[in-house]
Amino acid sequence: MKNLLLPIASFLLCFNSLSVNAQKVTWTKLFDGKTLQGWKQLGGNAKYTVEKGVIAGTTVASTPNSFLVTEKEYGDFVLELEVLIPDTVTNSGIQIRSHFNPDANDGKGRVYGYQYELDASSRAWTAGIYDEGRRGWLYPLDLNSAAQKAYKRGAFNKVKVECIGNTIKTWINDVPASYLVDDADVKGFIALQVHSIGKAADAGKKILWKNIRIQTANLSPAPFPAHVFVVNNEPNTLTTFEKNNGWKLLFDGVSSKGWRGAKTLSFPEKGWKIADGNISVLSSQGQESANGGDIVTDDLYSAFDFSFEFKLSFGGNSGVKYFVTLSENNVGSALGLEYQVLDDKNHPDAKMGIAGNRTLSSLYDLMAAKKTDRFVKPVGEWNQGRIIVYPNNHVEHYLNGVKVLAYERGSQAFRELVAGSKFKNRPNFGEGKEGRLLLQDHGDEVSFRSLKIKVLK
């Protein structure tokens, strides 16, 4: 009898332990449905009221961004709420781990920090992550096209944000959206934004929030699908999530492991420098491949997702090439499809070629990148590039999270572009089954870091 009672007792003990832990997972309401108790307004003069159990934010002309801010600050948490934007032109957001600088904006003050984007326009970036009043876009939703389809116009949408440690994840209507690793802020207030308006005719438009609740204890990271791209702002590192889903570093931050000269079997003895977590091509006054020469990966790649960061010097010129076969014995730089890395404002090559097809993030001499200045970081700051080659030969270029071009490698349209380019006399240019990745020595100082790749199948 004793032997029978012992397993039963053990089971009951485990069951009770699980029940206690489950009870510890509690939600706290941030909005009581009747008043704005626990909140205060900062920034602009938009109107915040309570109407039939919801918080209504109403746009007002001639005022900066307005924020209804929690009086408490929060570090690690899971936040859930519902939001409705009745029209398709109003922009809003939800601040998380944010702060207020009372001296900014000529003494009027400025809210700054992470923002969950609310975007009712055709751009469809709701659930992307923006850095209000500071760095701008951190996770544009071009990085997750599946999530762009989840927002429901004219209806209440379910928002979820998870902040644990240095990781922020977002959902929209239960669809995983953004995955950011960043250490700028570990805690701060939560706020509901009413964006400033440019035209007086847009005054009086409303944003509605309800069912706002937060969980701050017994948190555990929620799962995310493997296809979601991680913006990891810790240089030369991979998260466990990335490692588990096939990502590998191509540069360890301290050595040339995995790289060699394009025309030698070893890494160049001069012309390149590895220091401070960067791999940099040094200046030779603009002389292409006249110093260390290009460097290429030891491995060959066919279908892949390749992400990298680069920092330009004034007037800098370089490139990231792919499908480099090294079979052409070309004088100067080795040949391959090229993601152009260029200081557009200060290098003459930006004005050459056809219709801008030699500018930053373009497919060099073949197709121009469609980008705006707000998504280009200035000389001396780090930009993030990304090249995706799918198994079906669909190719995409990204710059700082924004898709700037797409094409079909080997298609008739692609071959027509080649026929009108400087590569027209190169048979089957860019159509190799596989090739190496290349960092170009174009004679200007350019640094790279956070080189990571995922093989696609």
> How far apart are alpha carbons 43 and 310 in whole angstroms?
35
User: What's the pLDDT score for residue 409?
Assistant: 98
pLDDT, one tens digit per residue, over 340-368 is 999 999 999 999 999 999 999 999 999 99
User: What's the pLDDT score for residue 12?
Assistant: 46
φ, ψ for residue 161, nearest 5 deg: -130, 135
Find where tokens 């109407």 sit.
51
Residue 14: is its pLDDT beyond 80? Answer: no
CB 324 within 8 A of CB 339: no
Residue 429: is its pLDDT beyond 70? Answer: yes
Structural domain boundaries in the chain = 28-215, 235-455
The DSSP 8-state label assigned to residue 408 in this structure reads E
205 three-state secondary structure? coil
Name residue 373's amino acid: D
What mean pLDDT do residues 138-142 have? Answer: 98
Half-sphere exposure of 166 (CA within 13 A, CB side): 10
User: What's the pLDDT score for residue 107?
Assistant: 83
pLDDT band at 404 (very low <50, low <70, confident <90, very high): very high
**Pairing outcome for strands 54-58 and 28-29:** unpaired
Percent of the chain at pLDDT > 70 equals 94
User: What's the pLDDT score for residue 9?
Assistant: 45
Q: What's the CATH fold of domain 28-215?
A: Jelly Rolls (2.60.120)
Other Cβ atoms closer than 10 A to 376: 20
28-215 and 235-455 share one CATH topology? yes
Concatenate the DSSP letters of all residues of 170-187 into one string.
Answer: EEETTEEEEEEE--S-S-
What mean pLDDT do residues 406-421 have? Answer: 97
The predicted model scores a pTM of 0.91
pLDDT band at 288 (very low <50, low <70, confident <90, very high): low
pLDDT, one tens digit per residue, over 67-77 is 999 999 999 99
> How far apart are alpha carbons 206 and 90 in whole angstroms?
8
> How far apart are alpha carbons 356 and 351 in whole angstroms?
7
User: What's the pLDDT score for residue 199?
Assistant: 77
> How far apart are alpha carbons 78 and 228 in whole angstroms?
19
Q: What's the CATH fold of domain 235-455?
A: Jelly Rolls (2.60.120)
User: What's the pLDDT score for residue 8?
Assistant: 44
